[in-house]
A = this chain, B = another copy of it.
Amino acid sequence: MGSKVMTYRAIKLVKRPVTDINNEHFELVTLNKPELKSGEVLIKLSHLSLDPAMRGWMSADEESYIPPVSLDSVMRASGIGHVVESQNEDFPQGTRVMGLLGLAEYAVSNGKGLNKIPDSLSAEAIMCVIALPGITAYHGLFEVLKPEAGQTIAITAAAGSVGSLVGQMAKHQGLTVIGVAGSEQKCDWLKDTLNFDHGLNYKDANFAEQLKSAAPQGIDLFFENTGGLAQSIIFDMMNAHGRIAVCGMIAEYNKVAPAPGPSWIGIIKKRLQIQGFTMPDHFHRIGEYGQALAAMLAKGELAYRAHTLNGLESAPDGIQLLFSGENQGKMIVAL
């Protein structure tokens, strides 16, 4: 028994962004289903994940942690689906899988980098918690920042898919959690739904004063997702021996000339440790992290919010919402 699909739709990268991403960078195309070779599977995708990392994958920067997407090829994206045809006994027909399968309705995989996922979890729970946002939050918090009860943590893009999980996990570890976001609505969600100690709007004129009042003893740990003005204000409030996990710089990716960082004098005076990280270095730990996250999810410790668009053609708009900050939760495309 095989799938009857002969063609499927996909979104190709056709132009590289210099500053903002727009619809001209993408093209919706119809592809012919290839014949499967031995070891390959055909996956019918049900959900696609839209992530800030896509901006880096779209640019031609060879120095990045992962090669750029080639022009005129299907745009890279993480997705969930079911195997509908299989020439690989590790992934029989019907297996539910997740992987970097691209912005497309179907994908062919040789099984490399493909992870099996249980049917019991909703696509939203997987995309919002178990997938890239969750493993990124888990690694950054526990492996990079190494939190201790009683410490104060500041998180930028705190209402984002990663930041919202970092803050909830930190709260369960007994930390004072300060979430920084860009709207009153997001800040209210952090405080009222996620139980953060503080939700501060970096666009407020007196943001620095609010932060001082929220962290009278200073800041021990900083989970950085944005760059921009908030970075230097939080940096200046770091305590001696503080640690900073640099996970994202969403305010800076679209700029031709990114803003400089703080002077390194503060790094000496306060003996700070700053560590950049990206998850492809740690994909061998996905299994371990996923189990820990699933356990937290089962205990009801992790609330999440999906912002779901419908249909493959909505993906370019969804990517642009990520960078304007207008998304309300993890961006997902349901097919």
Give chain A's interface residues, CB within 8 Å of chain B: 56, 61, 63-65, 224, 227, 231, 240, 246-249, 252-253, 258-278, 281
Contacts of A272 in B (CB 8 A): 274-276
CA of A264 to CA of B252, assembled, Å: 9
Q: Contact check: which of B65, B265, B270, B273 meets A253 at CB < 8 Å? A: B265
Contacts of A274 in B (CB 8 A): 264, 267, 272-275
A-B contacts, 18 of them at CB < 8 A, read A64-B269, A65-B269, A227-B264, A227-B265, A246-B268, A252-B263, A258-B263, A260-B260, A260-B261, A261-B261, A261-B263, A267-B274, A267-B276, A270-B276, A271-B277, A272-B274, A272-B276, A273-B275
Residue of B nearest to A271 (CB): B276
Q: A65-B271, A271-B277, A274-B274 are in contact. Are A264 and B261 (CB under 8 A)?
A: yes
Contacts of A231 in B (CB 8 A): 264
A271 touching B281, Cβ below 8 Å: yes
A262 touching B260, Cβ below 8 Å: yes
Residue of B nearest to A227 (CB): B264
CA of A60 to CA of B261, assembled, Å: 25
CA of A265 to CA of B258, assembled, Å: 8
A65 touching B240, Cβ below 8 Å: yes
Whole-angstrom distance from the CB of A56 to the nearest CB of chain B?
8
CA of A64 to CA of B240, assembled, Å: 9
Q: Contact check: which of B227, B249, B269 meets A276 at CB < 8 Å? A: B269
Contacts of A258 in B (CB 8 A): 263, 265
Residue of B nearest to A263 (CB): B258
Whole-angstrom distance from the CB of A321 to the nearest CB of chain B?
22
A264 touching B249, Cβ below 8 Å: yes
Q: Which of A231, A252, A264 has the most CB of B within 10 A?
A: A264
Contacts of A247 in B (CB 8 A): 268
Contacts of A263 in B (CB 8 A): 227, 249, 252, 258-261
Contacts of A246 in B (CB 8 A): 264, 267-268
Whole-angstrom distance from the CB of A223 to the nearest CB of chain B?
13
CA of A253 to CA of B263, assembled, Å: 11
